[in-house]
């Protein structure tokens, strides 16, 4: 997994990662800000995602829509926000690198002079509409909100979703989001990766020219928070759906922490593909579910493991819960088979290779360099990351299942058709979402 790169840190704190790849005449510009919804606070949520929108609305020296000049030059571009980071990227023809760097630097250093009340109000309405589309009006769309609220206490930064709470977005004022921008969107809290058909020295010179004058900003302290789930919490949520669905969730280690890789592979052997234990039992053999999935959701300060299954017509969530618990307890008691371990390792290695097939976009070399640089402080973490999966043994995976996937410390959410709470697993209380 050798990915050669050069790392430089400008005087203002901006990390610059350069990867040279002349296989195609394109260049990826990938900028990460180490800010996400976990940097918000209760009652003031949705700011990081709101800025994902606002930063495409123009800056002081180009006070128009961000997409047109780059797309006219042949580029593709986008951005995204999650709980732990915000990223913006462009993949441009090699001769358009300077344009991309100029525009990225202008919205980093000179966004606020162009951020008017009209732009702010317009994009806030766009975000509120996105929330309605992707959460409130989508079947099972409120599940993530209910699960996170159940797993993490109210003041924990993972208690809310990245989209934010409606009341918070409606109440926020322009000066409050301006202060949020000054706190987090500056060179000392950012990492810039440039990968592709570049001359590293020339690319670094352009970065210095366009980003070097931007003020550093204050150091951002790491977010620290704890969560514990000491009981079997059972919740039910009514929704406009045809079939009931169950979500079983456990608190687990953070990204890259001990046990994280083991639980990643546990999710693979439990529900990834038609040969997995839960798919084979629930969907193929017993036909009590129409689908099933499992994943270790790794985040920077905590993770959660989740199994999701939709009940087949004529079957109940209680049947599914019983079967899922039996399979987890069997894994904890007997451990995985050798063939399951081998399949999981191959899947993990394959995903590492897939992430390096392109220089940019969502994923790709530039995005992976930034991920390692931001989260572990070392862009060359590829081999050590892969080694975590290669080091997993049947005994260590079994131990992780025993430690974290316990019956007595999980949150179980039933989503049922409206007016049919009786379809939820027994002893469920109403879930609270806003």
As for how many domains the chain has, the answer is: 2
Distant-in-sequence, close-in-space partners of 64: CB < 8 Å, separation ≥ 6:
58
> How far is 375 from 386, CA to CA, in rounded Å?
15
Residues 249, 250, 251, 257: is their CA dihedral positive or negative?
negative
> How far is 304 from 146, CA to CA, in rounded Å?
14
Whole-prediction pTM: 0.96
Domain span holding position 195: 6-211
Parts of the chain with a pLDDT under 70? 1
* Residue 146 belongs to domain with CATH number: 3.30.830.10
Report yes or no on 218 lying in a domain.
no
Report yes or no on 1 lying in a domain.
no
Say what the pLDDT of residue 1 is: 66
Q: What angle do CA 30, 300, 218 make, to 5 degrees?
A: 65
- Give the pairing of strands 232-239 and 410-417: parallel
> Does residue 421 sit in the same domain as residue 365?
yes
> Does residue 204 sit in the same domain as residue 253?
no
> How far is 229 from 233, CA to CA, in rounded Å?
8
Say what the pLDDT of residue 433 is: 86
> Does residue 391 sit in the same domain as residue 266?
yes
Question: Domain boundary residue among 176, 211, 246?
Answer: 211
Partners of residue 192 on adjacent β-strands? 16, 31
> How far is 58 from 76, CA to CA, in rounded Å?
17
Q: In this structure, are residues 304 and 251 in contact, taking their beta carbons and an 8 Å threshold?
A: yes
pLDDT digits (tens, 9 = 90+) for 193-214: 999 999 999 999 999 999 999 9
> Does residue 200 sit in the same domain as residue 279?
no
Q: Where is 245: in which H helix or E strand? A: strand 245-252
Structure tokens at 55: 């930063």
> Does residue 158 sit in the same domain as residue 241?
no
> Does residue 246 sit in the same domain as residue 188?
no
Separation of CA 427 from chain center:
32
> Does residue 88 sit in the same domain as residue 206?
yes
Using CA atoms, how far residue 317 sits from 176, 243, 288, 330, 414, in Å, is 44, 10, 9, 20, 7
Please state at what angle helix 382-390 crosses helix 260-271, rounded to 10 degrees. Answer: 60
Question: Domain boundary residue among 177, 211, 245?
Answer: 211
Q: How many CA atoms lie within 13 A of 33 on its CB side?
A: 30
> Does residue 60 sit in the same domain as residue 199?
yes
> Does residue 37 sit in the same domain as residue 76?
yes
> Does residue 273 sit in the same domain as residue 315?
yes
Report yes or no on 109 lying in a domain.
yes
Query: Would you call 44 helix, strand, or coil by DSSP?
Result: strand
Report yes or no on 394 lying in a domain.
yes
pLDDT digits (tens, 9 = 90+) for 376-424: 999 999 999 999 999 999 999 999 999 999 988 999 999 999 999 999 9
Using CA atoms, how far residue 186 sits from 107, 117, 179, 432, in Å, is 10, 22, 12, 36
Report yes or no on 155 lying in a domain.
yes
Report yes or no on 223 lying in a domain.
no
Report yes or no on 180 lying in a domain.
yes
> Does residue 186 sit in the same domain as residue 245?
no
Report yes or no on 227 lying in a domain.
no
Q: In this structure, are residues 70 and 77 in contact, taking their beta carbons and an 8 Å threshold?
A: yes
> Does residue 347 sit in the same domain as residue 378?
yes
Say what the pLDDT of residue 158 is: 98
């Amino acid at each position: 997994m050798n990915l050669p790169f050069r790392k430089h840190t400008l005087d203002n704190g901006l990390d610059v990662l350069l990867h040279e790849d002349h296989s195609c005449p394109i260049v990826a510009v990938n900028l990460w800000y180490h800010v996400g919804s976990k940097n918000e606070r209760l009652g003031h949520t949705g700011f990081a995602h709101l800025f994902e929108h606002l930063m495409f609305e123009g800056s002081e020296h180009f006070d128009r829509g961000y997409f047109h000049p780059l797309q006219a030059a042949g580029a593709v571009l986008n951005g995204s926000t999650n709980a732990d980071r915000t990223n913006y990227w462009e993949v441009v023809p090699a001769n358009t690198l300077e344009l991309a760097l100029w525009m990225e630097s202008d919205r980093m250093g000179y966004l606020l002079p162009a951020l008017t009340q009209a732009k702010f109000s317009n994009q806030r309405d766009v975000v509120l509409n996105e929330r309605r589309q992707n959460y409130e009006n989508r079947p099972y769309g409120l599940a993530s909100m209910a699960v996170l609220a159940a797993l993490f206490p109210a003041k924990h930064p993972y208690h809310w979703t990245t989209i934010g709470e409606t009341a918070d977005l409606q109440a926020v004022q322009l000066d409050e989001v301006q202060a949020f921008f000054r706190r987090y969107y500056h060179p000392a809290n950012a990492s810039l990766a440039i990968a592709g058909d570049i001359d590293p020295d020339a690319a670094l010179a352009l970065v210095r020219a366009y980003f070097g004058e931007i003020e550093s900003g204050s150091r951002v302290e790491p977010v620290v928070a704890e969560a514990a789930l000491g009981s079997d919490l059972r919740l039910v949520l009514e929704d406009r759906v045809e079939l009931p669905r169950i979500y079983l969730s456990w608190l687990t280690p953070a990204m890259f922490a001990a046990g994280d890789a083991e639980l990643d592979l546990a999710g693979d052997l439990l529900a990834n593909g038609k040969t997995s234990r839960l798919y084979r039992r629930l969907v193929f053999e017993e036909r009590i579910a129409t689908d099933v999935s499992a994943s270790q959701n790794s985040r920077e300060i905590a993770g959660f493991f989740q199994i999701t299954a939709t009940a087949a017509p004529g079957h109940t969530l209680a049947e599914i819960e019983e079967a899922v618990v039996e399979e987890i307890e069997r894994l904890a008691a007997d451990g995985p088979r050798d063939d399951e371990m081998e399949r999981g390792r191959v899947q993990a290695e394959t995903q590492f290779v897939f992430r390096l097939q392109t220089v940019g976009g969502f994923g790709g070399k530039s995005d992976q360099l930034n991920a390692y640089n931001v989260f572990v402080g070392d862009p060359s973490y590829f081999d050590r990351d892969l080694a975590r999966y290669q080091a997993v043994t049947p005994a260590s995976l079994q131990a992780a299942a025993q430690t974290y996937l316990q019956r007595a410390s999980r949150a179980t959410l039933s989503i049922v058709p409206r007016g049919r709470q009786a379809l939820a697993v027994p002893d469920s209380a109403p879930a609270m979402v806003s």
